[in-house]
Structure 1
Amino acid sequence: MNWPHLALGLAMMMFISHSSSAEEVEMAVATGQAAPDFSLRDQNGETRTLSTYRHHWVVLYFYPKDDTPGCTQEACRFRDDLPALRKLGAEVLGVSVDNPESHAKFSSKYSLPFPLLADTDGKVARQYGALWSLAFIRFAKRQTFIIDPQGKIAKIYRQVRSETHSQEVIEDLKALQRSGR
């Protein structure tokens, strides 16, 4: 094995994963904008459309891959905090480029009580500026969007720590609701 080449390859992947292409920056949404609508299949094969959640707060979180350590931790934190989020009138939707079958296994394994949406072509992640791609490899970046009951983006998290993120979302939802958003 050629260790210098392996180290260089890993360093390049890390750099690329933290970089954004002009297309991604162009497609990224901003706070105050209408959230791009979408229709995606969930882990049960049901089609979920963002517009059906109008009049609710939505926590739309993108994650790289089912059943990986950080993604599992983040999903389980949202699962455990779901009663508090729902008490605030919020629904949680997870999105990755994995297929519905992968989502079904992940959801079942960890008893996830919210929809995991299959954005297999990466179109929705791209609209939100949350797609990372290199040649044939595509992942959703770990990013979250709070969408208000009128369908506008109220808060964007471009940097997420999976172990504390759901609590951060709860606190920010409370603040947004206190401020009349």
Structure 2
Amino acid sequence: MLLKTFKQLFNKPKIKSSAWDAAGSGRRFFHFQPELGSINNLLSQSLGHLRSRSRDMVRKNPYAANIIDTIVSNSIGIGIKPQSKARDGEFRKKVQELWLKWTDEADSSGVSDFYGLQALVCRSMIEGGECFVRLRTRKREDGLCVPLQLQVLESEHLDNK
């Protein structure tokens, strides 16, 4: 008996669970009957309530606000910074200089820069479920280095009915 117990210590354990625990039908899932259908159909009736409750929770609960801050920080960090892979060094340098100038002018409201907009988009996506970025072309007379600015629109700008 002692030898049998000793051998069992070094044997591989037998896996008794299925590959997909969530697809199981044991006692743990007896009362779990999720609704079937597309996500759009499921959300159509309650999207407004879910969104407003989510935003309210972030405003009133410091734990929820901290979770959002942590996710944004881990997802975006200091910002996604593209680099040109052009072979010509002089061209690459000019593109980089133009990019750095444009990042300061990217926000159509003039409140943030391109990297702040990235964080805002991520935060809006987590809090409200979605967010939109409008590309706003500008006139050359506006004096921008690149005649393009970005406008972040919250999901509440859409009619969900």
Q: TM-score, normalised by structure 1?
A: 0.23
- When you count helix as a share of all residues, which structure comes out higher? 2
- When you count strand as a share of all residues, which structure comes out higher? 1
Q: TM-score, normalised by structure 2?
A: 0.25
* Greater relative CO, 1 or 2 (CA 8 Å, sep 6+): 1
